[in-house]
Structure 1
């Protein structure tokens, strides 16, 4: 998983908190004034599943997630049991689309 994210993003891995391995970063600021930094993409190997942190445009999400393979998902997380359950090329496309979406949404 580390190699897939590193090779696809071109970013070095960085720990975000105790369990998220993130790649790249962006600065967000909400209308409420709350702001901070977060990884462009990341993953967390948890006990039950591997969490993938991806922020996708809804149309991209609807197009690519059904092609990924065995997974469940929330708003910004995709959960997989193991790499063998998914299509790695689709994962790479999701990673690239997440980075594109966040760079367009939060240019600086």
Structure 2
């Protein structure tokens, strides 16, 4: 792999087989619920990106530095400790009523879906999809 090659690329791995291996059981159930939600909102089927990210849709990016590649428009990873959502175009205020969570650069971390307001999560996903459609038209 070239030094600047993207490490997270779409694969042919089976999403359901991946979800069947997720632990603990609650994270597996949450992963299935998020998969269904993101598929419904995006209109895209789930696909594995790398070994552990479930992504929906695809876009091509090109930075001013010249680096470019493809990534999923939205996605998440049901990690053992928490769910990690990959969303873009969101402001601090968007998270005010979500519930228990933490954030990093471009990531939203949630321990369990039962600890957050699912209507707020849905609104975050919709806003991220709208941002991606504007920033990276299909």
Question: Which TM-score applies when normalising by structure 1?
Answer: 0.91
Pairing partner for 2:101 from 50, 58, 71: 71
Aligned counterpart, 1:96: 126
Aligned counterpart, 2:47: 14
Q: CA deviation at 1:62?
A: 2.0
Query: Which structure's residues are more often strand, by fraction?
Result: 1
User: Where does 1:45-64 land on structure 2 (aligned, <5 Å)?
Assistant: 45-57=78-90, 61-64=91-94
Q: Which ranges of structure 2 fall in alignment gaps of 5 or more residues?
A: 1-33
Q: CA deviation at 1:29?
A: 0.4
Q: CA RMSD in A?
A: 1.2
Aligned residue pairs, count: 105
- C-alpha distance after superposition, 1:28-84 (max 9, x if no partner): 001111111111111101011110110124xxx222211111100012100001110
Question: Which TM-score applies when normalising by structure 2?
Answer: 0.72
Structure 1 counterpart SS, 2:97 = helix
Q: Which ranges of structure 1 fall in alignment gaps of 5 or more residues?
A: none
Q: 1 or 2 for the larger relative contact order (CA 8 Å, sep ≥6)? A: 1
Structure 1 counterpart SS, 2:129 = helix
Is residue 2:32 matched to residue 1:32?
no
